[in-house]
């Protein structure tokens, strides 16, 4: 009952949230242009957008469409005369759209924020906490009958929504200007300014991890490992990734997500970022040194002692969202050998791409030459990595595909940091998942619920420890095992059973 | 190159096939009427619960068999001609010849001749077909009665309950599964079953099953005369070797059977080149402390591993090591190592500890004279198979085991450890002054063998 109430409340708030896209009127005026673009460009922009000027649009979609095509025309013109710094990008278009908005939503952001976000969070929390009504223990009842969780109509719907959201967020934020506007009250409160699209995204991201993290804790409350791990992930997202950067920028210090590192943070070595850190005084230098230390020294040491789980399922932001928001879909990962083959080529390919791209970017930074090895344009490396890997793979596919292919598509097939961590974990780490002698009954729960698509059962049923580059140590396989066959452990590297015994323990054959 | 035919694609038959393939180049065919591919029978309940789909319960990818040159045949064997060494299948006119035959026929649920046991809506839970039938009936079941308090019964209770079906659980004994579990453990499970909203009726026996005009079950009558309305009756009063369907062939061929197919220590039947393994086999001379018929996943697997050796010219006697088994009753996991009978043997002592929550416990039995441990039951605390196998094989003393108990702990990180409390209770009960000497974890490569 309570569960249904929570869900209904959430769905009502979410419905209203979606409906806000139809709110507001939009009217582009010359004052808005003057306030938002460079003085010398106002005239030519006004000329290009003449049909739109002063026209009242009751439909934000139509406004954004017209504005987008107008700006695209302008940009084409700039391209033709190579006037790169005159071009307009997504944030400019979004700013113009937001500025052109007026209406109930614009005048009542706090109320609308309450009705959408606050009530939505409340509904989500009630839904999450309703799990306390069932007894503690694994409760995957009905997962494969569920229309949202088993890749049926609702799952496909949610996936479609997420994919469209990411495409809008990355490439067409003007179409979700009202959503950005809804978070203005929070942004004003935290940093005194209006919300950018990334603030809205960060806020949505953080509350998703919080609410769905709570749901996960409730569902796995019988396992301290799961509770601590999820609390860790909630902490790192809320405090380190969301709040701390805001505090830093409020203090006029260079702002950073301290846990984000290269190569996941693929633009760490880009010129504008290096410049900003170097110009950022002592703290800026600290961030530069910290960032390099983290991936060069800190990470190998941590992976040696604990496996890559210290990062991937306890700290990482992508991982945090996957383990919380993505939890309903972990069973959708592809367990086939074919998927494993693709995974190994793809993820290591992305790592190689990231390394080459970074070498290119640094080469340009230090030598001023725009071509690596004389013929590879580093700008092209940068922008194609950013587009294909950073935006499409990591964003659109990474999260958008949760309800379709599971919660770790990016982590498993694309993340270059995961590839790096995985190599260390496979060859030199104390981490393994121990299998308990002959106790495996081959039921398949472990493989089914492994979010990384590892065929855990194949190892368990032959008594071999699981030492896999992709294992993020979420511990769910151990949790769902009905016979206590699996356990995540750290011990001397040499104690890992890498080759299956001839015959399983329990058979006294030949003794 | 010989043709080895295995009838039955369960854990026993499939393990035999895999190990034969590892050792030799013989032609191997597995015949099954139940499914095209080997699946884990233990996982049937999870399909019904919605935790997994059927394909998730297949331990090997479908191309595994062809890759390993193990032929699969979907068919029921109607007749075995032992003299000619030929099999007659239900869906083929030509007979199959074998050089060696392994019978891995599995079990069949018991039916003890109750009136109405053939009605629609009355069934056991063993095969994939049983699961399919139950699934088809489920939308029409509001109330169900389960007869027989054992492992399958408690799993069936969990399954039906997950669909919102009201379950009445009739258990003949005065405490759940008390032919196997000592009193305290049995009582714990009684409580746990009740806590899970199952109407557990101890000391309650089925008298007859009553049907309606359509041949569908509508109620049952207990031996005390009570009528319980229901649309489904689950018969979970144990299983027996599945030899009835081939009884004629066995009689004609003079293959010796009793409750199951009689086998010697090499898993050979009285017929040359014919073997029997798993649930359907009956050991003429079971290993010490073991039953003649073992209906456990693990022993089936062990028999499969063993018979493969013999068939590939390395005669190996069936010698399972230290006994072990496991189960899960709703949310309580159970593991057992060694022998912990329901009744404490005269020459043994027992130590029992139960957690304040009443949902975790351990019991260690040990020889009173020499103090060597003989068995352990553990509920709610995961233990390392390797460690207990070593301790029990070596006959370690109760003192040693308790002092080193953390070594056996297989619970995940951060889980509360109870060894201090356990050893304190033992000290208090016996006047001993044992102290914990080990830590939880893997510290030695010696254990990995």
* 8 Å CB contact of A495 and B445: yes
Instruction: Give the span between the Cα atoms of B7 and B261, in whole angstroms.
Output: 13
Is-contact A450 A410, C-beta < 8 A? no
Q: Mention every residue, 6+ apart, whose C-beta is less than 8 A from residue A38.
A: none
Over residues B304-323, mean pLDDT: 96
- How would DSSP label each residue in A409-438? HHHHHT-HHHHHHHHHHHHS-SEEEEE-TT
Is-contact B35 B43, C-beta < 8 A? no
* 8 Å CB contact of B51 and A488: no
Q: ipTM of this model? A: 0.96
Residue B443 has a pLDDT of 75
The pLDDT of residue B446 is above 60: no
Q: Best mutation site among A135, A463, A509, A510 for testing chain B: the one with the most B CBs within 10 Å? A: A509
Residue B447 has a pLDDT of 46
* 8 Å CB contact of A443 and B43: yes
Query: Contacts of residue A136 in chain B, CB cutoff 8 Å?
Result: 331
Q: Which of A77-86, A103-112, B10-19, B361-370 has the lowest mean pLDDT?
A: A77-86
Interface list for B 352-391 with A (CB within 8 A): 382-386, 389
Dihedral (Cα; B18, B23, B29, B33), 10-degree rounding: -30
* 8 Å CB contact of B305 and A504: yes
* 8 Å CB contact of B331 and A141: no
Query: Contacts of residue B297 in chain A, CB cutoff 8 Å?
Result: 441
Query: Contacts of residue B53 in chain A, CB cutoff 8 Å?
Result: 144
Residue in chain A nearest B44 by alpha carbon: A443
pLDDT per position as a tens digit, B212-262: 999 999 999 999 999 999 999 999 999 999 999 999 999 999 999 999 999
* 8 Å CB contact of B51 and A144: yes
* 8 Å CB contact of A507 and B302: yes
Is-contact B35 B57, C-beta < 8 A? no
* 8 Å CB contact of B51 and A436: no
Residue B444 has a pLDDT of 59
Query: Contacts of residue B443 in chain A, CB cutoff 8 Å?
Result: 491-492
Cis check for the bond before A263: say yes or no (omega within 30 of 0).
Answer: yes
- B231 in contact with A, Cβ within 8 Å: no
- B213 in contact with A, Cβ within 8 Å: no
pLDDT tier at B449 (50, 70, 90 boundaries)? very low
Query: Contacts of residue B301 in chain A, CB cutoff 8 Å?
Result: 438, 504
* 8 Å CB contact of A505 and B321: yes
* 8 Å CB contact of A483 and B415: no
Query: Contacts of residue A434 in chain B, CB cutoff 8 Å?
Result: 410, 442
Q: Best mutation site among A437, A458, A479, A488 for testing chain B: the one with the most B CBs within 10 Å? A: A437
Strand pairing category for B217-222 and B206-211: antiparallel
Query: Contacts of residue B61 in chain A, CB cutoff 8 Å?
Result: 336-337
Query: Contacts of residue B294 in chain A, CB cutoff 8 Å?
Result: none
Q: By percentage, how much of chain B surpasses pLDDT 90?
A: 98
Residue A511 has a pLDDT of 64
A and B: number of Cβ contacts within 8 A: 170
Tell me how close the Cα of B107 comes to any Cα of chain A, in angstroms.
17
* 8 Å CB contact of A445 and B443: no
Residue B448 has a pLDDT of 42
Please provide the distance, in angstroms rounded to a whole number, between the alpha carbons at the two ends of chain A: 59
* 8 Å CB contact of A448 and B51: yes
Q: Shortest CB distance from B333 goes to which of A445, A483, A487?
A: A483
pLDDT per position as a tens digit, A469-505: 999 999 999 999 999 999 999 999 999 999 999 999 9
Residue in chain A nearest B322 by alpha carbon: A506
pLDDT in tens, chain A (511 residues): 899 999 999 999 999 999 999 999 999 999 999 999 999 999 999 999 999 999 999 989 999 999 999 999 999 999 999 988 899 999 999 999 999 999 999 999 999 999 999 999 999 999 999 999 999 999 999 999 999 999 999 999 999 999 999 999 999 999 999 999 999 999 999 999 999 999 999 999 999 999 999 999 999 999 999 999 999 999 999 999 999 999 999 999 999 999 999 999 999 999 999 999 999 999 999 999 999 999 999 999 999 999 999 999 999 999 999 999 999 999 999 999 999 999 999 999 999 999 999 999 999 999 998 888 888 899 999 999 999 999 999 999 999 999 999 999 999 999 999 999 999 999 999 999 999 999 999 999 999 999 999 999 999 999 999 999 999 999 999 999 999 999 999 999 999 999 999 999 999 887 6
pLDDT tier at B150 (50, 70, 90 boundaries)? very high
- B46 in contact with A, Cβ within 8 Å: yes
Under DSSP, is residue B425 helix (H, G, I), strand (E, B) or coil?
A: helix
Q: Best mutation site among A227, A337, A457, A508 for testing chain B: the one with the most B CBs within 10 Å? A: A508
Element (H, E) at A182: helix A177-182
Nearest residue to B186 via CA among B291, B329, B294: B329
Strand pairing category for B107-109 and B239-241: antiparallel
Residue in chain B nearest A332 by alpha carbon: B52
Element (H, E) at A456: helix A456-460
The pLDDT of residue B2 is above 90: yes
Tell me how close the Cα of B284 comes to any Cα of chain A, in angstroms.
19
What is each CA distance from B134 to B111, B151, B246, B425, in whole angstroms?
Answer: 17, 18, 26, 46
- B68 in contact with A, Cβ within 8 Å: no
């Amino acid at each position: 009952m309570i569960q249904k109430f929570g869900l209904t409340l959430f769905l009502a708030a979410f419905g209203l949230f979606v409906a806000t896209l139809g709110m507001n009127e939009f009217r582009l005026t010359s004052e808005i242009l003057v306030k938002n673009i460079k003085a010398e460009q106002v005239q030519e922009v006004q000329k290009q957008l003449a049909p739109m000027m002063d026209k009242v649009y009751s439909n934000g979609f139509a406004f954004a469409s017209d504005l987008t095509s107008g700006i695209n025309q302008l940009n084409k013109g700039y391209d033709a005369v190579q006037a790169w710094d005159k071009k307009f990008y997504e944030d400019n278009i979004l700013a113009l759209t937001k500025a052109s908005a007026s209406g109930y939503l614009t005048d009542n952001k706090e109320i609308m924020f309450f009705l959408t976000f606050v009530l939505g969070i409340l509904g989500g929390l009630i839904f999450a906490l309703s799990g306390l009504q069932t007894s503690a223990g694994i409760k995957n009842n009905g997962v494969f009958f569920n229309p949202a969780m088993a890749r049926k109509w609702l799952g496909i719907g949610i996936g479609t929504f997420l994919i469209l959201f990411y495409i809008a967020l990355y490439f067409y934020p003007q179409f979700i200007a009202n959503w950005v506007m809804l978070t203005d009250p929070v942004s004003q409160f935290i940093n005194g300014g209006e919300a950018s699209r990334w603030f809205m995204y960060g806020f949505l991201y953080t509350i998703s991890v919080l609410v769905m993290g709570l749901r996960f804790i409730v569902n796995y409350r019988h396992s301290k490992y799961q509770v601590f791990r999820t609390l860790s992930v909630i902490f790192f997202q809320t405090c380190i990734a969301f709040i701390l950067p805001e505090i830093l920028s409020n203090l006029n210090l260079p702002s950073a997500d301290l846990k984000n590192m290269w190569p996941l943070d693929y633009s760490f070595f880009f010129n504008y970022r290096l410049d900003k850190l170097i110009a950022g005084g002592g703290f800026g230098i600290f961030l530069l040194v910290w960032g390099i230390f983290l991936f060069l020294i800190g990470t190998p040491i941590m992976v040696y002692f604990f496996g890559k789980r210290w990062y991937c399922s306890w700290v990482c932001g992508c991982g945090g969202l996957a383990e919380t928001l993505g939890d309903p879909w972990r069973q959708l990962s592809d367990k086939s050998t074919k998927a494993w083959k693709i995974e190994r080529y793809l993820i290591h390919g992305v790592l190689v791409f990231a390394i080459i791209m970074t070498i290119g970017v640094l080469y340009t930074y230090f030598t001023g030459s725009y071509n690596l090895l004389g013929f590879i344009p580093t700008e092209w490396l940068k922008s194609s990595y950013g587009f294909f890997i950073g935006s499409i793979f990591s964003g659109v596919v990474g999260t958008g595909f949760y309800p379709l292919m599971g919660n770790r598509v990016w982590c498993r097939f694309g993340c270059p940091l995961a590839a790096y961590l995985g190599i260390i974990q496979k060859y030199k780490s104390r981490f393994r998942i121990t299998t308990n002698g002959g106790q495996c009954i081959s039921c398949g729960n472990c493989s089914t619920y492994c979010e990384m698509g590892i065929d855990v059962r194949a190892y368990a049923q032959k008594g071999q420890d699981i030492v896999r580059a992709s294992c993020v140590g979420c511990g769910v396989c151990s949790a769902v095992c009905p016979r206590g066959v699996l356990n995540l452990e750290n011990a001397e590297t040499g104690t890992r059973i890498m080759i299956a015994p001839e015959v399983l323990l329990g058979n006294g054959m030949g003794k | 190159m010989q043709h080895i035919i295995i009838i039955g694609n369960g854990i026993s038959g499939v393990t035999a096939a895999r190990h034969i393939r590892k050792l030799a180049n013989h032609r191997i065919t597995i015949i099954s009427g139940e499914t095209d591919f080997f699946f884990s029978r233990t996982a049937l309940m999870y399909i019904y619960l919605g935790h997994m789909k059927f394909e998730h319960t297949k331990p090997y990818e479908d191309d595994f068999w062809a890759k390993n040159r193990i032929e699969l045949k979907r068919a029921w064997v109607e007749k075995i001609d032992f003299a000619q060494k030929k099999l007659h299948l239900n869906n083929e006119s030509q007979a199959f010849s074998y050089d060696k035959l392994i019978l891995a026929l599995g079990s069949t649920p018991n039916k003890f001749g109750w009136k109405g046991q053939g009605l629609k809506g009355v069934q056991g839970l063993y095969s994939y077909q049983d699961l399919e039938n139950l699934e088809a009936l489920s939308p029409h079941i509001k109330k169900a009665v389960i007869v027989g308090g054992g492992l399958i019964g408690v799993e069936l209770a969990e399954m039906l309950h997950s669909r919102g079906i009201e379950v009445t659980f009739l258990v003949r004994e005065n405490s759940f599964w008390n032919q196997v579990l000592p009193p305290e453990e049995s009582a714990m499970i009684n409580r746990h079953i009740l806590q899970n909203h199952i109407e557990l009726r101890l000391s309650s026996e089925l008298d007859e099953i009553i049907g309606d005009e359509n041949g569908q079950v509508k109620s049952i009558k207990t031996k005390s005369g009570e009528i319980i309305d229901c649309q489904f009756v689950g018969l979970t009063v144990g299983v027996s070797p599945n030899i009835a369907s081939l009884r004629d062939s066995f009689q004609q061929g003079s293959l010796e059977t009793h409750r199951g197919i009689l086998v010697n220590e090499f898993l050979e039947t009285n017929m040359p080149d014919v073997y029997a393994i798993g649930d359907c086999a009956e050991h003429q001379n079971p290993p010490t402390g073991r039953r003649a018929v073992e209906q456990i996943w693990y022993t089936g697997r062990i028999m499969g591993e063993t018979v493969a050796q013999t068939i590939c010219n390395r005669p190996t006697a069936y010698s399972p090591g230290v006994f072990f088994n496991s189960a899960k009753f709703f949310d309580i996991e159970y593991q057992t190592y060694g022998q912990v009978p329901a009744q404490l043997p005269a020459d043994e002592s027992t130590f029992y500890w139960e957690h304040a929550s009443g949902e975790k416990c351990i019991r260690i039995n040990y020889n009173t004279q020499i103090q060597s441990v003989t068995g352990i039951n553990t509920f709610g605390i995961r233990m390392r198979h390797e460690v207990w196998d070593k301790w029990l094989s070596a006959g370690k003393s109760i003192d040693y085991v308790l002092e080193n108990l953390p070594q056996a702990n297989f619970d995940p990180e951060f889980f509360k450890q109870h060894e201090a409390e356990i050893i304190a209770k033992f000290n208090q009960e016996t006047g001993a002054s044992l102290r914990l000497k080990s830590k939880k974890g893997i510290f030695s490569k010696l254990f990995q063998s």
